[in-house]
Copies of this chain bind each other. A is one copy, B any other.
Amino acid sequence: MYIRGCTMREITYVEALNEALREEMRRDERVIVMGEDVQLGYSGRGGLFLVTADLMREFGPERVRDTPISEEGFVGAAIGAAITGLKPVVEIMYADFLLCCMNQIVNVAAKLRYSTGGQLKVPIVIRTMIGQGRGVGSDHSQVPIAWFMNVPGLKVVAPSTPYDAKGLLKSAIRDESPIIFFESFLLYRTKGFVPTEEYIVPLGEADVKRKGTDLTIVAISTMVPCALSAAKKLKEEFNIDAEVIDPRTLVPLDKKTIINSVMKTNRLIIVESGVKTCGVGAEIASIVAEETFDYLDAPIKRVAAPHIPAPASPALEQLTIPSENDIIRAVREILQG
């Protein structure tokens, strides 16, 4: 990702998020950070995964606030703060713990603007992490993106690169709607280039991560690097030229970019690391099937997790996360079929 006229630095996904938080906190004193262990964590710098590193040192304990284990309570509090002048960025340590505060997120945050006839705005960002990929088990590995897409009033973001993570988190913080922001443990240590200069990535724009002509692969979050390496192999080994699209924000969804791609390639695969049934792929497949019916040369395939809670044993867990091979197999199926 090179941008004309920008100096670029290579940083990790975690560092990118950290920079976004720091920059936005400097820019706007209404921005505060709340969550468990955001002040110290294991390192003493902040955050179990260092996303909030050194923020407490710079902004103090009032704006970088450790919370008790009360997800429903502190998310509710963040909403209350958001409607009265602050811009809270809340950390929910694992995406699974969103289940502890669904009531405040869905019944309150998502509804306030509408049910008050526009009197209230809820500028809150709920950052969370998908824990898959290291045997943390059934209640620490879920990918509940689709549920939030089903809730009018929420926006949903899931970046896959340091560049997108930083630029989208900054946009999210500046937005006036409640936003669920999905990070991923498997992406935290990945590296990528970001501009030295300030930049943002607007919500609602998909990114074509790889241009191609033979088929379209829409990949979500953790699955983007995997889809890209699968695409590379497909080219090298089978001379199949896949276009890889990362929607980056699921709500609002950039349908146009996806539809245009499918109208060009006539084939679509959607790859996500969450459960297939009623997942993100179901929605994208449905939209594309509805809007590009006459262009499709093969059935749309969804590559996703099977209908199984995440096993702790690594021998089993790997079977529940789609792999490069699963993607390659699916691609070859629809190209041959």
Q: Are B96 and A99 in contact (CB under 8 A)?
A: no
Q: Are B275 and A107 in contact (CB under 8 A)?
A: no
CA distance A142 to B153 in the complex (A): 13
- Residues 9-43 of chain A: 1 if any B CB is under 8 Å from the residue's CB, otherwise 0? 00000000000000000000000000000000000
Q: Which residues of B contact A137 (CB under 8 A)?
A: 115
Q: Are A150 and B278 in contact (CB under 8 A)?
A: yes
Q: Are A278 and B278 in contact (CB under 8 A)?
A: yes
Is A151 among interface residues, defined by CB-CB distance under 8 A?
Answer: yes
Is A311 among interface residues, defined by CB-CB distance under 8 A?
Answer: yes
Is A4 among interface residues, defined by CB-CB distance under 8 A?
Answer: no
- Residues 102-136 of chain A: 1 if any B CB is under 8 Å from the residue's CB, otherwise 0? 11001110110011000000000000000000000
CA distance A299 to B139 in the complex (A): 37
Is A312 among interface residues, defined by CB-CB distance under 8 A?
Answer: yes
Q: Are B275 and A152 in contact (CB under 8 A)?
A: yes
Q: Which residues of B contact A146 (CB under 8 A)?
A: 146-147, 150, 278
Task: Identify the A interface with B (CB < 8 A).
Answer: 96, 99-100, 102-103, 106-108, 110-111, 114-115, 137-139, 142, 144, 146-147, 149-153, 251, 274-275, 277-283, 285-286, 289-291, 293, 296, 298-302, 306-309, 311-312
- By Cβ-Cβ distance, the 8 closest A-B pairs, closest first, are A293-B299, A282-B282, A111-B138, A114-B309, A99-B103, A150-B278, A285-B286, A149-B278
